[in-house]
Amino acid sequence: MLVLGRKLNEAVRITTPGGETVEVTVARIDRGGVRLGFAADPAVRIDRLEVAERRAAAPAVGPRVAGARALAAMRAPAFCRRCDFPAADCRCHGGAKP
């Protein structure tokens, strides 16, 4: 693991072997933690580790699906963009869809 020190508004750029780039900027520093800003190519998916693990554990859609209803049943649960809980368990919208 590479560990770097950065000050407020300083950044690190990551380039993948495929040429995609991710720039990580220290946006805010508080007593409780650090806020990071991410700028990336649209093809790059950026998730917190716990969200990525949840998505990986969700069942994948098979190569053949009989219809829209079967697809909806097999699809991974939608996640709220605000709280990262599955939409069915989202509490930040009072039960409304994200």
d(CA 68, CA 85): 24
21-29/34-40 β-pairing: antiparallel
Residue with more model confidence, 58 or 81: 58
Residue with more model confidence, 70 or 48: 48
> Which helix (H) or strand (E) is 26 found in, with range?
strand 21-29
Q: Could you identify the residue written with the tokens 């049943």?
A: 73
Q: Tell me the one-letter amino acid at 94.
A: G
| Mean pLDDT, range 72-95, rounded to an integer | 62
Cα atoms found within 13 Å of the Cα of residue 55, Cβ hemisphere only: 12
Residue 71 has pLDDT above 70, yes or no: no
**pTM of the prediction?**
0.55
Residue range 16-65, pLDDT digits in tens: 888 888 999 999 999 889 999 999 988 888 889 998 898 888 876 655 54
Residue 9 has pLDDT above 90, yes or no: yes
CA 20 to chain centre: 17
